[in-house]
Each structure stands twice: as C-alpha cells, then as structure tokens.
C-alpha cells in the first residue's frame, strides 16, 4: 500500500460505525476499553447533529482504515485552540506514510481556522507515537497531571 492510494476526507453520516470500531481498538491498546461508554448512535449525533466535534477519515479500497477526531478547545493563555482527541491508523496500514499525511491534514485545518495552538495527549509508554510526534516537531510536556471527575 502506498500513501497515495488513500483518500483522506471529512467524515460523513454512516462513517460513525467504522470510527466507533477504531475508537474501541485504540482504547483497547490504551488499556482503557472499559472506559468506553460512547456508542455509534451517540457519536453520530455529536459529529453530525450537534457538531461538538469533527473527524477526518482515511479510506483505502472503500474501507476506512484510520481517523482523526478533533474539536475547538480554549486556552486562557493563547485563545482558540484545536484539540486532537483521537488519531489512529489501523496497525496493518502503518508504515506507508498515511499517518503522517493525516496528521498534516489536521495541522492544515488548525492553521486555516486560525487557532493559536494544537493540543493532544499521548501515553508516556507509547514510544512509537512519541517518536512520531517528535518527528513532527511537537512540544512534549510531561509536567501536567490529568484531573477527572466522572458522572
């Protein structure tokens, strides 16, 4: 597979099933599958009705093999930001450069919409991802702890 054989496009109605499957694959890798209480039906509403978030998908031979889900966030220091919540390419499709193209597409959206910063998080033991983000010249800051309350 060559990266050029893939199509990167905005998610559309019907894609929520493939995206949801990949959300679960990524959560499993991140040892947090038990935390997933979202559903494809709710995801459809969030993406296409309420527009709380947006997503790009990667298509290869009519199958969705990767996605990036993001939303507008806010920094009191910087102003409007873009938060990249999930970024994933199925394991069998890595190594062709498609992940890099997908990431660059999100950066382009961030630049085009005029946000001041693009944020995401990576697990401290996910070395492959950390190397990838270093290659993308990202700042990686381990000094912050995530605080959470669940409802």
Which residues are the active-site residues? 133
- Beta strand 63-75 with 79-89: parallel, antiparallel or unpaired? antiparallel
Of 1 and 27, CB closest to its own copies: 27
CB 108, CB 130: distance < 8 Å: no
Of 23 and 98, CB closest to its own copies: 23
Q: Please report how close the Cβ of residue 92 comes to its own copies at its closest, in angstroms.
A: 21
Q: Please report how close the Cβ of residue 103 comes to its own copies at its closest, in angstroms.
A: 10
Of 60 and 103, CB closest to its own copies: 103
Contacts of 88 (CB under 8 A, 6+ apart): 22, 25, 26, 66, 67, 68
> Which residues are near its own copies by CB under 8 A?
23, 26-27, 32, 35-38, 42-43, 46, 50, 52-53, 69, 71-80, 83, 85-86, 107, 110-111, 115-125, 130, 133, 136-151
Q: Please report how close the Cβ of residue 131 comes to its own copies at its closest, in angstroms.
A: 12
Q: Which residues of 28-65 are buried (b: 16+ CB within 10 A; e: fewer)?
A: eeeeeeeeeeeeeeebbebbbeeeebbbbbbbbeeebb
Of 61 and 124, CB closest to its own copies: 124
CB 131, CB 140: distance < 8 Å: no
For residue 58, which phi and psi values (nearest 5 degrees)?
Answer: -110, 125
Q: Please report how close the Cβ of residue 2 comes to its own copies at its closest, in angstroms.
A: 26
């Amino acid at each position: 597979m060559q990266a050029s054989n893939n199509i990167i496009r905005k998610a559309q109605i019907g894609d929520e099933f493939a995206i949801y499957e990949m959300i679960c694959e990524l959560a499993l890798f991140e040892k947090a599958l038990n935390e997933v209480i979202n559903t494809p039906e709710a995801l459809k509403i969030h993406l296409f009705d309420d527009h709380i978030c947006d997503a790009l998908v990667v298509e290869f031979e009519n199958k969705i093999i990767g996605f990036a889900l993001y939303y507008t966030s806010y920094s009191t220091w910087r102003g409007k930001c873009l938060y990249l919540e999930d970024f994933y390419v199925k394991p069998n499709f890595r190594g062709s450069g498609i992940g890099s193209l997908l990431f660059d597409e999100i950066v382009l959206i961030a630049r085009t919409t005029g946000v001041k910063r693009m944020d995401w998080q990576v697990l401290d033991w996910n070395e492959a991802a950390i190397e990838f983000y270093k290659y993308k010249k990202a700042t990686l800051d381990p000094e912050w702890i995530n605080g959470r309350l669940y409802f």
